[in-house]
A and B are shown apart, each in its own frame.
Chain A
Amino acid sequence: MNPVATIGPADLDERRLREMLDLVGPASEMRLLQSLVGDLTAARTALARALSAGDKSAVSAQIHVLSALAGTFGAPRLAAAALALEQRSRGGPVMTDGAEVLAMTDRLTEHLSDRLRAGPELQP
């Protein structure tokens, strides 16, 4: 299987996201989107808190969630940036520069929230 990536706004591979939504079926796709937005928001908040507190293990736990979400739902750049942040935080001093990951997460969350507000009839 070698799908051509269709990277759209917020660095999102729309085809991959559509595959995931199709997997749960039309009746549950809004619930999945809602859940995804909730998970991204929670992970983003907890990551920001962990970064400012310099809590490496909490950073690692939230990166685990973020990279899994990003990889699964079609945001490979966010997944890669998150894993790179974890690598840096493991080897070097306590991380405070997760701004890029936080900003990418914000863009993705915003994009998905817009889709959620638009409702299922506007899905591609």
Chain B
Amino acid sequence: MNQRSVTAPVLLVEDTPSLQIVYRSVLTRAGHSVLAARTAAEALSLFRDARPGVVLLDLVLPDRDGLGLMQDMLRVQPETRVIVITANGSINQAVEAMRAGAHEFLVKPFEEGRFLAAVENAGARGRRPAHRPADPPPAGGLFLGSSEAMMRVYAKIRSVAQSMATVFITGESGTGKELCAQAVHDGSARAGGPFIALNCGAIPSELLESEVFGHMKGSFTGAISDKPGAAAAADGGTLFLDEICEMDIGLQTKLLRFLQTSTVQPVGATKPKKVNVRIVCATNRDPLEAVRRGQFREDLYYRLYVVPIHMPPLRERGEDVIEIAEAALARFSTEEGRRFEGLDDEVRALFLRLPWPGNVRQLLNVIRNVVVLNAGGLVTPEMLQLELVQEIEESLRPGLPPPPARPAEPGLDSLVGRTLAEIEQMVIEATIARFDGSVPKAARALDVSPSTLYRKIEGWGARKG
């Protein structure tokens, strides 16, 4: 399997020598050919000579502002994908970079896997002069699979990508809804514009309006500068609203108005502004059921539910589980510097039998775990998390065993003074511990999907890291 999709050299523009050494090593180890520059002048000269498909660009350079350099590069070769890297993670700066034509925005320090994924992702789509409707969706981000179910998804993406129609993606958590949205964007005439993703369920409702529509300086306490918001940042591109059914009902009214008028009015602004945005949204819930329950506006539902795409759960994708597992194994092995040869027959059979309640995200976690904790060779059942094997056994048994005897409950007093996020983490960790480390069992007890717990655990890890 060919892991590397970038054939042209990657141009790395970083003026701090030690960081340049590290980034160059990461890229070289992943098989990329790298050209490196420390100044804007040197970078532009190398760019003109080598015409790289992907540029990694530090925004702060000794001789010139990085954004200006990026614009010069894009004038010379518009199809180049520029990944902007900076230590300043302000949304304003990200928006400015995306508007100026950046393909992606990375904030230092970044995890090596994230860094390589960004390069692979940009490279897989770089140097494509024009959209070809017959192209399959890009392989970057492990959006893979040859099952009939996925073939139907690819066909739908191809047929809808070129239109302006709103796409509504449904599917269980972890099935790859954001990758599907990205594929719609990449296949569209807006592929050169920004792709802005916003998780409506992850942002507190009081901040969501400002995140979507922006705000003006001084419009509320803490609004220390103007902020354009995701809808304006996506101007000329695609706005992906994930977990749309979690959006506050009040804000749904504003979203509806935005869809009807194509104008945004940031909090505190006196005049609306016209934007040109294609909306793709997604949910892991049944949107019609959310309408019936009064949690989702019916008129908004009908405006958004124009072209539905359903992402199938992994358990219904047959051999795709093996294809994805092997692709992930190769990618993670490269990232972690390991030498894995593939899955042994027993693991393949196990993977095909598993119900994968956390879908592709769960599979990727399992493979990541194997790669991190083992040196290499063929993946055998002994390398798999014990919980995974237990899950297989359990999936073959009907019914859920009674939970273990409950230890004394902690008093509410011990929770008072903690943040809601801390309390949630405590409860989740205690539930997982009660079920001997089994995330799927804990998820069932908490009445959430296992992928929700995997995502939260991943989030805690990222915060600690």
Contacts and interface: CB of A to CB of B under 8 A. Distances in A.
Interface string B102-115: 00000011011100
The binding surface of chain A is classed by DSSP as helix
A23 interface: yes
B415 interface: no
Contacts of A72: 19, 22, 108-109
B17 A24 contact: no
Contacts of A88: none
Interface in B94-124: 108-109, 111-113
A77 interface: no
A2 B87 contact: no
B113 to A, nearest CB: 8
Contacts of A116: none
B17 A35 contact: yes
B372 A1 contact: yes
Contacts of A32: 18, 21-22
A115 interface: no
Contact of A24 (B22, B111, B368): B22
B109 A23 contact: no
Nearest to B369: A1
A2 B454 CA distance: 13
B465 A2 contact: yes
The binding surface of chain B is classed by DSSP as helix
A11 interface: no
B284 interface: no
A89 B375 CA distance: 47
Given A32-B21, A72-B19, A67 B461 contact: no
- Which residue among B18, B112, B337, B465 has the maximum number of chain A CB atoms within 10 Å of its CB? B18
A10 interface: no
B108 A23 contact: no
Interface string B9-29: 000000011110110011001
B18 A36 contact: yes
Contact of A20 (B22, B60, B372, B464): B22
Interface residues of B, number: 26
A30 B423 CA distance: 45
Contacts of B16: 39, 65, 68-69
B25 A69 contact: no
Contacts of B465: 1-3
Contact of B21 (A35, A63, A79, A91): A35
A117 B18 CA distance: 18
Interface string A1-28: 1110100000000000000101111001
B3 interface: no
Interface string A79-93: 100010010000100
A1 B461 contact: yes
A31 interface: yes
A44 B86 CA distance: 19
13 contacts: A1-B368, A1-B461, A2-B460, A2-B464, A23-B25, A23-B112, A24-B25, A32-B21, A64-B60, A65-B16, A71-B87, A72-B108, A83-B87
**6 interchain residue pairs of minimum CB distance:** A71-B109, A2-B461, A68-B87, A68-B108, A35-B18, A36-B18
Given A1-B368, A39-B17, A65-B16, 17 more contacts: A1-B113, A1-B372, A1-B465, A2-B464, A2-B465, A24-B21, A24-B22, A32-B21, A35-B21, A61-B60, A64-B60, A64-B86, A68-B108, A69-B19, A71-B109, A79-B109, A86-B88
